[in-house]
Amino acid sequence: MTFKPAEWPRKLRSQHWYGGNSRDTIYHRGWLKNQGYPHDLFDGRPVIGILNTWSDLTPCNGHLRELAEKVKAGIWEAGGFPVEVPVFSASENTFRPTAMMYRNLAAMAVEEAMRGQPIDGAVLMVGCDKTTPSLLMAAASTDIPSIVVTGGPMLNGWFRGERIGSGTHLWKFSEAVKAGEMTQDEFLEAEQAMSRSSGTCNTMGTASTMASMAEALGMALSGNAAIPAVDSRRRVMAQMTGRRIVQMVKDDLKPSDIMTKEAFENAIRCNGAIGGSTNAVVHLLAMAGRTGVELTLDDWDRCGRDVATIVNLMPSGKYLMEEFFYAGGLPVVLKHLGEAGLLHKNALTVSGDTIWDEVKDAKNWNEDVILPVEKALTQQGGIAVLKGNLAPLGAVLKPSAASPHLMQHRGRAVVFEDIDDYKARINDDALDIDETCIMVMKNCGPKGYPGMAEVGNMGLPPKVLKKGITDMVRISDARMSGTAYGTVVLHTSPEAARGGPLAIVRSGDWIELDVPNRRLHLDLSDEEIAARLAEWKNPVEPPASGYARMFHEHVEGADTGADFDFLKGCRGSEVGRDSH
Ligand code: FES
């Protein structure tokens, strides 16, 4: 893509607040001077908002206040004026009922923080799962020049001589305790070993995936995704990001120049190559919806289908983000995609150069971590998009995290009406279930939970685990943590709480999963499905009031990204009326 930088100098939007000597200007400028800023800082230089998702209750981003100082240093060096702005921080490990319920709220709040304040450019300081997409959604809707810098992953977890990964081993160890293979005391001992340093989850979970998506989209400097949070090079990256945003503002290099259809296709293919999280599906669809780029679930299947998963990281593989960084990180993966003809090489990045310029000289320093394609974890990585009478609008499954022997499977349904029903019955040895059954859970989608929680990787019944079985087919309208694994069908759409066919599945029905043929079929006649739907009553009551009510009324389905209907599209950055 050819990008033509704007003329510089020119009047920036911050000058609507700080330019001239009117009463209103003196009001805006004078009050800010109470922080001791000299008058010449208001001379029309780029004002850069450092939108910081730091919070004590978002531990994955707990170090971002300190990292922001390096961003500020870079902005000062490049002749900009940095202002740090705390923004809504939706922590994955804190928010209830699920952080996903607050992604759109955060995106809305950040969008207004960008548009309503004197910000010419933005550094998006993110890390934990939802913080990355929410800020990118906001940037896409305002189209103000923006650049991502993530906090970086935690160092490797180690326990009794073995790597242990965030989330992935939480699920493994909890199943081991249920199966009687690990004691509760050992589990507690492992707890601290999982989180050895500041940073985001060290697996290729959703945070690492979304950091990789930001880089593959071209919205972060090359190499950003994998640098560990505590590595000095993370601080260098922050400073370079601060320097770069100032020039982006001068050039008027905007998200709409970067987040093109080609960029989204690059990101989808990259997700297949890294064995990335299924959560990237809803987040990229939502981000595309903000830019006006037409992106659908079918694009996920089309672009990702023939991408080999070459990054040998948990949950699909063996290593963790620290080793991915030492092996060369994401530039190596993008270079591989380029050489395989799977990258739009001319896609523009925040650097002002193309993505190919950024990655063409990358080197792989460890071929056990970033595998040669002939040794890939799976030749068909990507995200499989399944359709059929059980998922007319689609459902997703991550082949690299699934069991090959279950990719074509017909089984008897064991149905849980919601998460509470699942929790109440799953440990009961009288439950009529074995490893050939298909576990089905309803009412965990965007409207149903509410918020579409990461509960789709339902733990197996203890009586099955005790046989040494570690995977069964599971189907729901929920999401799954990016750190989780298994033959798990997710995001089934329409969701049960919207009257999708999932709502009428009963225990004892038979279901066919056929991943190679992308099929998810309920073995019932059309007439029987229609008759059951006709007598179906929605068990999910709309919340009475508040944000939950707004969420319920406006959230769209997972198949289009679960954004709010009224937030789609780019609204630009036009300055509104002054208040004085
Ligand atoms: Fe925050 Fe994993 S829980 S990054």
Task: For ligand 1, say whether the CB of 343 is within 6 Å of any of its atoms.
Answer: no
Q: Roughly how many angstroms between the first and final C-alpha of the chain, as a whole number? A: 43
pLDDT at 576 over 80: no
Report which ligand 1 atom has the smallest distance to the Cα of 200: 4
Instruction: Copy the structure tokens of residue 186.
Output: 């050992």
Residue whose CA is at the smallest distance from ligand 1 atom 1:
128
- Can you give the pLDDT at residue 1? 60
* pLDDT digit string, tens, across residues 70-90: 999 999 999 999 999 999 999
Closest CA to 154 of 70, 274, 234: 234
Residues of the chain with CATH 3.50.30.80: 384-540
92 Cβ closer than 6 Å to some ligand 1 atom: yes
User: Tens digit of pLDDT for each residue in 486-521?
Assistant: 999 999 999 999 999 999 999 999 999 999 999 999
Res. 580 pLDDT band, cuts 50 70 90? low
pLDDT at residue number 454? 95
129 in ligand 1 pocket by Cβ < 6 Å? yes
424-433 pLDDT, tens per residue? 999 999 999 9
CA of 280 to the centre of ligand 1 (A): 14
Nearest-atom number in ligand 1 for the CA of 61 is 1
User: Which numbered atom of ligand 1 lies nearest the CA of 92?
Assistant: 3
- Separation of CA 131 and ligand 1 centre (Å): 10
Is the pTM above the cut of 0.75?
A: yes
What pLDDT is attached to residue 483? 85
Average predicted confidence (pLDDT) for the chain? 96
The more confidently predicted of residues 171 and 53 is 53
* Pocket test residue of 53, 54, 60, 203 for ligand 1, highest count of atoms within 8 A of CB: 60
Rounded to a whole number of angstroms, the CA Rg of the chain reads 24
**pLDDT band, very low/low/confident/very high, at 485 (cuts 50, 70, 90):** confident
Distance, in Å, from the CA atom of 139 to the CA atom of 213, rounded to the nearest integer, reads: 15
Q: What is the DSSP letter of 519?
A: E
pLDDT digits (tens, 9 = 90+) for 195-243: 999 999 999 999 999 999 999 999 999 999 999 999 999 999 999 999 9
Residue-level pLDDT at 579: 62
C-alpha pair distances (Å), 211 with each of 4, 68, 276, 384, 452: 27, 17, 10, 21, 21
Return the pLDDT at 192: 87
Q: pLDDT tens for residues 345-380?
A: 999 999 999 999 999 999 999 999 999 999 999 998
Q: Whose CA is nearest to atom 2 of ligand 1?
A: 201
Residues of the chain within CATH 3.40.50 domain(s) are 45-154+201-296
Give the model's pLDDT for residue 306. 87
Q: Does the pLDDT at position 382 exceed 90?
A: no
Query: Is the Cβ atom of 200 under 6 angstroms away from ligand 1?
Result: yes
Tell me: the pLDDT tens digits for 14-40?
Answer: 999 999 999 999 999 999 999 999 999
Q: Judge whether 108 and 160 are in contact, CB under 8 Å.
A: no
Q: Indicate the fold that domain 45-154+201-296 takes in CATH.
A: Rossmann fold (3.40.50)
Overall average pLDDT of the 84-110 stretch? 97
Angle at which helices 131-142 and 100-115 pack, to 10 degrees?
40
CA torsion, ordered 507, 509, 512, 513, to nearest 10 deg: -20
Instruction: Return the percentage of the chain with pLDDT > 90, whole number.
Output: 95
Which atom of ligand 1 lies closest to the CA of 59?
1
Is 384-540 a CATH 3.50.30.80 domain? Answer: yes
For the CA of 60, the nearest atom of ligand 1? 1
Q: Taking residues 472-490, what's their average pLDDT?
A: 94
